[in-house]
Amino acid sequence: MAENLLELENITKTFPGVKALDKVDFSLNKGEIRALVGENGAGKSTLIKILAGIYEKDSGKIFYQKQEVEIDDPARAKELGLAFIHQDLNLIPYFNAVENIWLGYDYPRQGVKFNKKKMRKRVLELAESLNFEFDILKPVSELSTANKWLVAILKAFIMDAKLLVLDEPTAALTDKEIKELFINLKRIKKMGIAIIYISHRLEEIFEIADSITVLKNGKKVADRKIDEVSKEALIKLMTGKEKLSRFPARENRQKSTEKVLELEGLSGESFSEISFTLNKNEILGFFGLVGAGRTELMEAIFALREIKNGSLKINEEEIKVKNPGQMIKKGVVLIPEDRREEGLVLNMGVDENISLPNLEMMLQSKLLKNIDKKAEKKESKRLIEELSIKTPSLGQQVKFLSGGNQQKVVIAKWLYRDTSVFIFDEPTVGIDVGARTEVYSLINQLVDEAGVIVVSSDILEVMGICDRIAVMSNGSLTGILNKEEFSQDKILQLAYEEVR
């Protein structure tokens, strides 16, 4: 019989105006991989933060190895052997694996100096016990994303972790790297380590998890063995809907020959000789493996990176790219991959985030530079309703919104002005299946009046919503496919093409 490791009983947590968790039970055995799923705002993050000692529960009990415990702070979670590995791995890029793994722990010493030989030996022993194979002396900036995850896992094992919590572990991994990670997770499971696996990618959950817990609106709605539930039934449990069309059909599939963006021989850091055009009413996808140069190219178009050579035209006018403010005025906007760090001011309200890049358009007096607060709130309210942003108030701090609603706020702030080109970098990373469909529907609406670029590592996503797909490899454009040419084999062949 499986031995219980963790038991949560009637966990409740309330924030101002929101009951984030309502008498939630949760159970986990040693050597079990349990997926924790739910739409954004279901309560997953709150539950994990209570386990991590970041939030204090209002009521309920936590039993760990059959003993009732209080987890008052992260140090207590660490002491119990609970390790949390987030999508942002928080590794120091110029430190090697050994240095990153030991950071924050008591180093072995030789007199007053660190005993680097013992540090290396301990990491090597751990890596060998888990059959992890990579160069532990390389700076982590030179490691693959999959190997960076192995560094983070080893860091957990240095503290003798008994429970790993993995939050969206495959968001930035290639298919090959995902397979490698899953092999390693299965090894860890055989050692009796329990894993809580959080992901919005349902296909992965059916591949790696033994069991699943579903949260909805702060309540637990189901516990199932993975072989007792289908994907369709799981979506219904999460969303309350019988069937969800992943890629909503575009109602007005207009075609235009009007060029809104043209690149000719554009070169910069991490990309070279890029040429393509984007037409109005077109969704152009950009696919590639990690390190292909897609994000760097988009940031250069938006003037966040230097362009070394080549030309760029917006609405057939050649532009000497200077700064993001200039590009916004010319009608080019970027919805970045890391919405929390680069797209929002988390401590500001929804209304303030929407109005922030548009303040010069809300001035009561250009001389006095004072903002028309009435107009600001009116426009914010309109956009919140138009995009169905779920928020208890206009002034709600965006850090308390779900990932899907945060993404809508980032989009909303660009709808106040005339925009010719929308650039979405990984638009659905970290948002649930229902919110993804809403984002796709928004993109379909935007393309009626503009051109849209969608950068995505999800091959089904670019095939499902795009009119054409541009594929990059090692900083070069290896091909552009029309809709009738789409196939996973063709796209991956171009993505793995050796160039440079």
Q: What CATH number does the domain containing 379 carry?
A: 3.40.50.300
Helix (H, G, I), strand (E, B) or coil at 26: strand
Residue 250 lies in a domain: no
Task: Report which of 274, 22, 399 is spatially closest to residue 8, judged by C-alpha positions.
Answer: 22
Is 380 found in the same domain as 285?
yes
Is 269 found in the same domain as 198?
no
Is 231 found in the same domain as 263?
no
Is 314 found in the same domain as 214?
no
Q: What is the pLDDT of residues 436-476, one digit of tens each?
A: 888 898 899 999 999 999 999 888 899 999 999 999 998 99
Residue 389 lies in a domain: yes
Residue 248 lies in a domain: no
Is 272 found in the same domain as 212?
no
Is 149 found in the same domain as 45?
yes
Sign of CA dihedral 422, 369, 378, 347: positive
Is 303 found in the same domain as 164?
no
**121 contact partners, CB below 8 Å, separation of at least 6:** none
Residue 353 lies in a domain: yes
Task: Report which of 207, 249, 245 is spatially closest to residue 226, judged by C-alpha positions.
Answer: 207
**102 contact partners, CB below 8 Å, separation of at least 6:** 119, 123, 158
CA dist., res. 417 & res. 404, Å (int): 22
Question: 211, 239, 267: which is the final residue of a domain?
Answer: 239
One-letter identity of residue 431: I
Is 213 found in the same domain as 330?
no
Is 204 found in the same domain as 274?
no
- For residues 4-22, average pLDDT: 90
- For residues 127-151, average pLDDT: 83
Q: What is the pLDDT of residues 80-117, one digit of tens each?
A: 999 888 766 778 988 999 999 888 777 777 777 778 88
Residue 369's pLDDT band (boundaries 50, 70, 90)?
Answer: low
Instruction: Tell me the CB-side half-sphere exposure of residue 7, using CA atoms within 13 A.
Output: 9
Question: 239, 272, 301: which is the final residue of a domain?
Answer: 239
**189 contact partners, CB below 8 Å, separation of at least 6:** 31, 32, 33, 195
Phi, psi of 275 (to 5 degrees): -130, 130
Is 423 found in the same domain as 312?
yes
Residue 254 lies in a domain: no
What is residue 270's predicted lDDT score, i.e. its pLDDT? 86
- How many domains are there within the chain? 2
pLDDT > 80? residue 485 = yes
User: Which residues span the domain enclosing 224?
Assistant: 4-239
Residue 144 lies in a domain: yes
What is residue 299's predicted lDDT score, i.e. its pLDDT? 93
What is residue 364's predicted lDDT score, i.e. its pLDDT? 65
Terminal-residue alpha carbon distance, the chain: 56
One-letter identity of residue 72: D
Residue 252 lies in a domain: no
Question: In terms of DSSP H, where are the helices of 109-230?
Answer: 116-129, 145-158, 175-190, 202-208
Is 227 found in the same domain as 354?
no
What is residue 457's predicted lDDT score, i.e. its pLDDT? 84
- Predicted TM-score (pTM) of the model is 0.68
Is 286 found in the same domain as 191?
no
Q: What is the pLDDT of residues 219-278, one digit of tens each?
A: 999 999 999 998 888 888 887 766 556 777 776 667 888 999 999 999 998 899 999 999
Residue 120 lies in a domain: yes
